[in-house]
Structure 1
Amino acid sequence: MEQLTLPENFFFGAAMSGPQTEGGWNVGGKLENLWDTWSMEDIGAFHNRVGSYVGNDFMRRYKEDLELLKGLGLNSYRTSIQWSRLLDEDGNINPEGAAWYHELFRASKEAGIEVFVNLYHFDMPTYLFRRGGWQNREVCEAYANYAYKAFCEFGKEIRYWFTFNEPIVEPENRYWHPIWYPQHHSFQEACEVQYNISIAHALAVANYHRAVAEGHMLDDARIGMICNFSPSYTKEDPSEADLEALRMNDGLTNRWWLDLVTKGELPEDVIATLQELGIKLPIRPYDDQVLSSGVVDWIGCNYYQPCRVQAPSRDRDEWGNPLFAEPYVWPERVMNES
């Protein structure tokens, strides 16, 4: 059998996150986050009733887990720092939380495994959510402070950074579709959150460059964003309405983030359509200057599936939210054929 080898400097790794794996939800000065809150209020919503309390018990098992990763031939993994573990309610470093991440990064280096660090994996501290969460501009500022504190604390240990994982998911799942706690059904809220996450990202990238200028980061450090891009398609012989559905679906879920991280701006055509529909974005004077800081060094891409859409059969859903598109079932689709 021919032996295949990976190119030099190729990262072969795995992905995890703090809220999914760490456990230890209330130890070491960690604050409650939304996954903890949801676990306490409705543990039945979680598979096998395993909420945030245990995760994968990574805080206790990290050494053996790193051995498993190494045994699989991996040379890297991506995880996240939990905002609710690293900082206290005053926005200052929680020493016990920082110590845990220092130990994890030390052990990873000892195992010969590079760590890619993401700063936010849908795990808003609950006390900030109760102040409005991403709908509150002050929470964006709090996130920027958290990012800066993380850069300064771990900048000489971590080379590869990301501001957000899959930023489209939280507006959709928490504020529009009734999936995640607190299961809101408001497209208006979803758009406010999507806009302010964009602002928070740009503020964090600006603070990354500040940390670089102050000498806190490794010389070859990089900053990016991880997006779950779903390429948008429609029918082979589309109507004008189908093409309009394609434009808005792609604009909201893909181009929005691509324009932010490559141009430092948001797609004007999407913003204009939202405003025509009466959606009020929390735009402030000089936000274009804020967003201009959002350009990154690289982009993470999580790919799950394409998104096939067509013109909607109605203008509004059952909660009164605007409908831009409906799923299109491609007649020639195939999946998991052996």
Structure 2
Amino acid sequence: MTKFDSLKFPKDFWWGAAASAPQTEGESLAYGKAPNTWDKWFEMAPEVFSEIGPGRTSNVYNLYREDVQRMQDINLNSYRTSISWSRLLPDGETLNQEAVAYYRDYFQTMRDKGIEPIINLFHFDMPWWMMELGGWINPIITDKFAFYARTCVEQFGDLVKYWVTFNEPIVHVECSYIYEFHYPAIRDFKKAIESGYYTILAHSKAIKAMKEVSSDIKVGTILNLTPIYSKSDSKEDLQAARYAQLLNVDSFLEPMVKGTFPKDLVLLLEENDLLLNVNEDDLTIIRENTAEFLGVNYYQPKRVQAPEGDVNRPALMPEDLYAPYIWKERRINPYRGWEIYPEALYDISKLVQNEYGNIPWFVSENGIGVADEARFQDENGMIQDDYRIEFIQEHLTMLHKGMEEGSNCFGYHLWTFVDCWSWLNGYNNRYGLYSIDLKTQKRTLKKSGQWFSEFIQKQSQ
């Protein structure tokens, strides 16, 4: 028996996978759904997406019953996906009854098969009607989002106990308003800060609205807690790491979990002419409505050093405050250019335990994307993805170490169950436990899926 094989997790531990509505459902302009930013951007510039858009994706809208059966077949006991805001409320106000019927049957099917549904409200898919009003930089979105959140619990609260407001909110902030990866793809640090603030306020207003409907539900949020590592112990590098921590981790983690904003972050924003004028009543809402549990997405660490040469003051971009560096000992996933560093998952477990009241948390995403996986098929068509098995084992080992030391983790979800559509690269990199043939939509279990199933079975013994 290897050291990994001897690891034992709690009996009620969540073993599952994660996905999102826009990356899996398909039927993106059918059955009453209105367009979101991805639908419209693909319509305007299909070349941005390598000509593969959000229209069909993995066809879960039509194949969810079969997929849920596959979840049960490989012993998953939980699954996280999202509701499409623009499907449920096509104009922001009117309930789409076809969407209600679809989601209710989807969630009921999970329950019938012993799969706990964890349902996310927003996974980067801004309704186009809201984008035309300004998206996350229009404060009206906080009330629009709270209405949507309330509606979700009114319609599905009897089927879904665990809700999350956002998946990786920093991503729609920086990708939309700094790095040009999401629509509207502009570069404006001040708008990024503004959109982040309204996202946090929307999170708290949503929790308040949802809890008014049902006190029995649990509401959390999902953050990508990217650990920050400094190049050296020099004063300059440590300061850069502190800036990176404030902007990339503490900025969402502290207000969403503790209800307060870090004083050092407020000072940093003020020094760089980025501080917003905020309403005291809004700060009260943020303080009084915080996450009850935390999902943590982890793929890679962030390694930083002090910027070199002349930098803008006040800062015009985050890179004016910290610069990336490449650790000479790093392992890398060449298909994404991401560092593989499982040890960070242990560091995350200690951060949550020691700095955030040991709030209940789970690994809500972890995984490895690889291109052209078909070259690893055996004679029976099964992809021999031993690299994914090794990746999972290494990260579970580090997670288990943190749990042994008291970190309050209750689950592990892999990204993803069935190969899904990815923002801007379509299906180039595959992450699933099941592979998908895009022409036929046929699902085929990978070796990692078989291994994961057997591992979960052993954990229950």
| TM-score between the two structures when normalised by the length of structure 2 | 0.68
Partner-residue secondary structure (3-state), 2:14: coil
Partner of 2:322: 325
C-alpha distance in 2 between matches for 1:308 and 1:124? 31
C-alpha distance in 1 between matches for 2:147 and 2:171? 23
Q: Report the CA distance between 1:90 and its aligned residue.
A: 4.7
Q: Report the CA distance between 1:285 and its aligned residue.
A: 3.3
Relative contact order, CA 8 A, sep 6+: which one is greater?
2
Q: Report the CA distance between 1:282 and its aligned residue.
A: 5.0
C-alpha distance in 2 between matches for 1:23 and 1:293? 37
For residues 282 and 146 of structure 1, do their structure 2 counterparts lie closer, same or farther at Cα, with a shift above 3 Å needed? farther
1:261 paired with 2:256, answer yes
For residues 52 and 111 of structure 1, do their structure 2 counterparts lie closer, same or farther at Cα, with a shift above 3 Å needed? same
C-alpha contact (below 8 Å) 2:176/2:184 kept by paired residues: yes
Partner of 1:186: 188
C-alpha distance in 1 between matches for 2:41 and 2:117? 29
Aligned pairs (5 A) from 1:282-301? 283-301=278-296
Partner of residue 20 from structure 2, selected from 3, 17, 22: 17
Structure 1: runs of 5 or more not aligned: 214-218
C-alpha distance in 2 between matches for 1:282 and 1:12? 43
Partner of 1:231: 227
C-alpha contact (below 8 Å) 2:122/2:167 kept by paired residues: yes
Partner-residue secondary structure (3-state), 1:144: helix
Partner of 2:212: 210
C-alpha distance in 1 between matches for 2:291 and 2:317? 33
C-alpha distance in 2 between matches for 1:332 and 1:96? 53
C-alpha distance in 1 between matches for 2:86 and 2:96? 9
| TM-score between the two structures when normalised by the length of structure 1 | 0.91
C-alpha distance in 2 between matches for 1:140 and 1:222? 20
Deviation per residue, 1:227-246 (Å, 9 max, x gap)? 1111111023222x222211
Q: Report the CA distance between 1:4 and its aligned residue.
A: 7.4
C-alpha distance in 2 between matches for 1:246 and 1:320? 18
Structure 2: runs of 5 or more not aligned: 333-339, 341-386, 391-461
Q: Which moved more, 1:122-131 or 1:272-281?
A: 272-281
Partner of 1:216: none
C-alpha distance in 2 between matches for 1:116 and 1:257? 21
C-alpha distance in 2 between matches for 1:249 and 1:28? 43
C-alpha distance in 2 between matches for 1:294 and 1:246? 29
C-alpha distance in 2 between matches for 1:126 and 1:290? 27
Which amino acid in structure 1 is aligned with residue 167 of structure 2?
N
For residues 148 and 273 of structure 1, do their structure 2 counterparts lie closer, same or farther at Cα, with a shift above 3 Å needed? same
Q: Report the CA distance between 1:320 and its aligned residue.
A: 4.5
Q: Report the CA distance between 1:269 and its aligned residue.
A: 1.3
C-alpha distance in 2 between matches for 1:146 and 1:312? 42
Q: Report the CA distance between 1:261 and its aligned residue.
A: 2.5
Which amino acid in structure 2 is aligned with residue 45 of structure 1?
V
C-alpha distance in 2 between matches for 1:138 and 1:79? 26
Partner of residue 309 from structure 1, selected from 276, 300, 304: 304
Deviation per residue, 1:68-123 (Å, 9 max, x gap)? 22222211110000110111315232211111101111221222211110000011
Aligned pairs (5 A) from 1:117-132? 117-132=119-134
C-alpha distance in 2 between matches for 1:60 and 1:135? 35
Aligned pairs (5 A) from 1:34-49? 34-47=37-50, 49=51
1 or 2, which has the higher strand percentage?
Answer: 2
Deviation per residue, 1:279-315 (Å, 9 max, x gap)? 1425223222021134211100011111111111242
C-alpha distance in 1 between matches for 2:23 and 2:277? 31
C-alpha distance in 1 between matches for 2:78 and 2:92? 33
Aligned pairs (5 A) from 1:1-338? 7-47=10-50, 49-213=51-215, 219=216, 221-239=217-235, 241-281=236-276, 283-313=278-308, 314-316=310-312, 320-321=316-317, 323-335=320-332
Deviation per residue, 1:188-235 (Å, 9 max, x gap)? 11111011101100111111221225xxxxx3x311000111111102
C-alpha distance in 1 between matches for 2:52 and 2:110? 26
